[in-house]
Chain A
Amino acid sequence: MTHTAEGDAATSVSSTRRGLLGASLAGAALSLVAGRATSASTGERVNAADLELLLFAQSLELAARDLYAAAITAGTDDPLFGFLADQHEAYAQGIASFIGEPANARDDAVYDELEASFTAFDRTSVATAGYDLESAAVATHTELLALLENADGAKVIASMLAMEARHCVVLADMSGRGDDLNVLLVNTADPILPEELS
């Protein structure tokens, strides 16, 4: 992410995720799930480490969905924000269908950190917050590709990443920065990753 506040957000996420992922009970549950998650395309089994990564990506997508929904609830009712909420819901469901687990665990740390910037009551501010969030999502998913061993899981993430990169361009234009080629074309955001993975 580009701004200091967002850098702090990444730190905040790290500590929260560490606590979650460090729990042995959760680890055991993930292992059980990993035992039955199998790629539909290649039949390649999704191992426990990959499953952890995909569940993390899913929780980030649900946080993004809820942030756009919060903007609409707060009164910034642009159809584009509703559309972006739907996009992220679809990504969470896409991962859910791949791993065979429901999409129901939002990353609260990310949501809590960014909620204020999405409920600013004006379209430009929300578009700017959305641009930063989408940029971080692209950076995060790019990083996940280097960690995921399952090729089909990587394909799912890549197909989300591709559109999130395009979301950035739309939001750059919506936030009045459509003439700035660096904002349009360059992603300077840092990934949001659990500390164990960063």
Chain B
Amino acid sequence: MSAAEPRATFDRRQLLRTGGLTLSLGAIIAACGEDRAGGTDPGRVGEAPSVTPLPEGTVDDIVLLRTAQSLEHSAIDAYAAARGLDVLSAHQDAIAQRFVDDHTGHSVALGGFITDAGGEEFACANPWVTRRVITPIFDAIDDSDDPLRDVLNVAHALESLAAASYQSLVGSLTVPDLRMKIMQIGADENRHAAALAIAITGAPDGYVSPLLLGETAPEEEPEFPALWAVPSTFGMVSAVELVVGAPNEEGQRFSIDLQTPAANTFVYADQSC
């Protein structure tokens, strides 16, 4: 700056001082303001389009029934994938067809319950279950060292999941008549699971968990979950463990816990096939 130039009105210190004063006054004015309008959304930068909020996910009887119907179709799709692997004997394939027929009948019945309740049926597989459960399972079976073992275990796991799911829905449904109808189907799924357990484990070893007969559990955890027609005294709604596929480099097989329906698996009113 030369001597000829006019002296600057503010030096840096003054600028900071003035800025601080302005901010302080702004805060005081803001605190004292009334009837201030404006959104409560977080601040936005730039020209991004406004966000459309997701609809509220109300869980009512219709949503629960639609979810149950979707699980029936998930099972039907899984059986189609399993039978497509061409590892089942003719006898086993006939039993699989019988289970598919039962699940198809369950879906039709559920569709009727849904429409009677004023809802719209959901006659297709549960999207979350397909993406997070069925697809990964069959991806793991692709390079299995024993695809037949895996297919039978998958069938048992899905039937057990269905059985547990219906039982869990009893406490959520608000209409007693629907609880009854749901458990009519739930009893069928329990029978499917029990029949598969005996087929896989053999009779009589596959009848009842040895723990229920007063025997002690084996010291070493089995590589595949042991299966029994009657695994517990009361029906369980806990996760169903499934192990499939070939061991990886570390000797570990693909393992997944199948969970009964929850917020991420419910088929809400705004979802369609």
Residue ranges of A at the interface with B (Cβ–Cβ < 8 Å): 79-80, 83, 86-87, 90-91, 94, 138, 141-143, 145-149, 151-152, 154-155, 158-163, 165-170, 173-174, 178, 181, 184-185, 187
Contacts and interface: CB of A to CB of B under 8 A. Distances in A.
Contacts of A163: 190, 230, 232-235
Given A158-B167, A166-B194, A181-B98, A187 B187 contact: yes
B93 interface: no
A165 B176 contact: no
Given A90-B234, A170-B230, A143 B180 contact: yes
Shortest 4 CB-CB contacts between residues of A and residues of B? A162-B235, A146-B180, A169-B194, A145-B180
Given A145-B179, A154-B171, A165-B194, A170 B102 contact: no
A159 B212 CA distance: 16
B244 to A, nearest CB: 23
B254 interface: no
Contact of A159 (B187, B194, B213, B235): B235
A184 B230 contact: no
Contacts of A181: 95, 98
B180 A185 contact: no
Interface in B189-205: 190-195, 198, 203-204
Interface residues of B, number: 36
A185 B98 contact: yes
B195 A155 contact: no
Q: Is the interface of B mostly helix, strand, loop or mixed?
A: helix
A142 B187 contact: yes
29 contacts: A138-B187, A145-B179, A147-B176, A148-B176, A149-B176, A151-B171, A155-B167, A155-B170, A158-B167, A158-B170, A159-B234, A160-B234, A161-B235, A162-B183, A162-B186, A163-B190, A163-B233, A163-B234, A163-B235, A166-B190, A169-B194, A170-B198, A170-B207, A170-B208, A174-B204, A178-B203, A185-B188, A185-B191, A187-B191
B154 to A, nearest CB: 19
A165 B187 contact: yes
A179 B106 CA distance: 23
A187 B191 CA distance: 10
Given A162-B163, A162-B190, A167 B230 contact: yes
Q: By CB atoms of chain B within 10 A, which of A147, A151, A166, A167 has the most?
A: A166
B203 A158 contact: no
A83 B204 CA distance: 13
A86 B177 CA distance: 30
A157 B170 CA distance: 10
Contacts of B18: none
Contacts of B184: 142
B65 interface: no
Contacts of A154: 170-171, 176, 179
